[in-house]
Structure formats: C-alpha cells, structure tokens
Structure 1
Amino acid sequence: MGHPRRRYLCYTLLEDTEWTLTDLATKIAAWENDSPDHEVTAQQRERVYVSLYHAHVPKLVDEGVITFDDATETITAAENAAQVLTALEGMGASVNNTQETHARSEMDDDEQ
C-alpha cells in the first residue's frame, strides 16, 4: 500500500464498503487539496478519477483488495480487503493519521 491514493482508498472502505469512482475521486481530491468535498473543482476531481481508473483501481483489483464494476463504476471491498484494512488500522497512527481520519469522515461534513 505504498501510494497515498491506494492507501486512502482502502481507508475509505473502513467507513463505507461501497463507493462510486466519482465519489471516491471527489473525496481524495478534497483530502489532497485540503478543502471540503463540495469545493472540489471538476479539474481536481477528474485528475484523481483518471489516476484511480487507470492505475490504482486495477492494481487493487489484481491484488484482490477491491472489486470494480465497470458498468456502474462501483468499488466494493473484496476477499483480501479485511487483511489490508486490519494492517492499515494497525499502522494508521504512525503512517498517516490525518489521511485515515479524513478518509473515515463523512462526505460533505462542511456542507450543511
């Protein structure tokens, strides 16, 4: 789980076991730009979306961590997710506590 986006994606599965690729790209872009989800620009979201779609999602699918439904663009936890999530929880505080905290927070917390 070397890449921050892959690690972040896995942290989000601790909060909710199903995500659309667009929602996940929005959440990651918000974290990377230190802004609320609703302030993410289309360009910021698209940059993360393309990276997830072409690099990170296929790698995590190959490793059995997530499944990806091309038709609905939905990501769900797969057979190896529990093992990876347990490892991330165990090292979360020392690796990137702010990343885990943000990933596990509700989307659009700042929008009320």
Structure 2
Amino acid sequence: MVKRDCPSSDVEPDEMLKLSKDEIFHLLQASRRRDIIAHLLDNERPIKMGDLVEIISAEEHETTVAELTSTQRQRVYIPLYQEHLPKLDKKGIVEYNQQRGIVRPTDRLEVFRPHLEAVDRIDGVDYADTGPVRSLIARAVSLII
C-alpha cells in the first residue's frame, strides 16, 4: 500500500489513520465505494480507473468484461469519476490521480477490512471470493430486526 507522505487530500498526516465510526459507515454506505474498497483491499496495488470501472460494471451486470456495453461502463464510470473516487481521495483512503486515471490504495484503507470481514463472517462468505460487498447496511439492519 502507498504511504501518503504528501496527501492530495485535506487530511493532516497525523490524522491519516483516524476515522470516526460515522465516517467509516458513511463511506461504506454506497455500494460502489464498498466495491472499490473491497477490490483494493484484496489486490493491494494501484489500478487503472478504467479497469476498476470494468470490474465493477461486470459484477453489477453479472457478465464478463468482454461482454460489457459502453453504456454499462459509462453508468459506472461517471459516478466513480465525479463522486466516489474523489470522496475516497479526500478522506485519504486512496490516492486518485484523475489526470492519469490511476487509483492507489493507502495505508488508511486497512481501517475498512474488519468492517467488511465482519459482515461477511455473519453471512458466511468471504468478500474477496465473492466480488463486491453490495449491501452492508441492508445486512446489518437485517441482523438487528
């Protein structure tokens, strides 16, 4: 994982690994952010945004990357480009270089591993083996009810 010596976000270096529970759950609220986080935790290396878009698109449409349409890709690309990756970058979870289209995991990403694994232990699945974690909030709520 990448150490953030000069973060591109507004997060101070000594605050890099600190996230409140509210911040963590807010970031995990969106299924595509969970998908991004789960993929980066599983692979622990930089990825081209286009590749990330294809992985998430294929999983959402239950198809292969080769069978994706440009419309399916674009429906994932736009929210990742405009919302999800900038939000994760701002919080120091990833380094997202929009111009180069590269997403790099940071050490701060590890904060999310126990949260994703806890839900999967309850469900009896391993997030790394099943693709994206789609309904963290729905699963947690169903356990309470």
| 1:1-112 matches, cutoff 5 A | 1-16=28-43, 17-94=45-122, 97=125, 100=128, 101-103=130-132
Give TM-score scaled by structure 1 length.
Answer: 0.79
CA contact (8 A) 2:117 2:126 kept: no
Structure 1 or 2, whichever has the larger Rg, is 2
The 1-side partners of 2:53 and 2:121 are apart by: 23
Q: TM-score, normalised by structure 2?
A: 0.63
Percent pairwise identity: 26
The structure-2 alpha-carbon separation of the partners of 1:63 and 1:18, relative to structure 1 and needing over 3 Å to count, comes to same
Q: Matched residue pairs, number? A: 103
Where 1:75 maps in the other structure, the secondary structure is strand
Q: CA deviation at 1:47?
A: 1.4
**Root mean square deviation of aligned Cα:** 2.1
Unaligned runs of 5+ in 1: 104-112
Gapped regions of structure 2 (runs ≥ 5): 1-27, 133-145
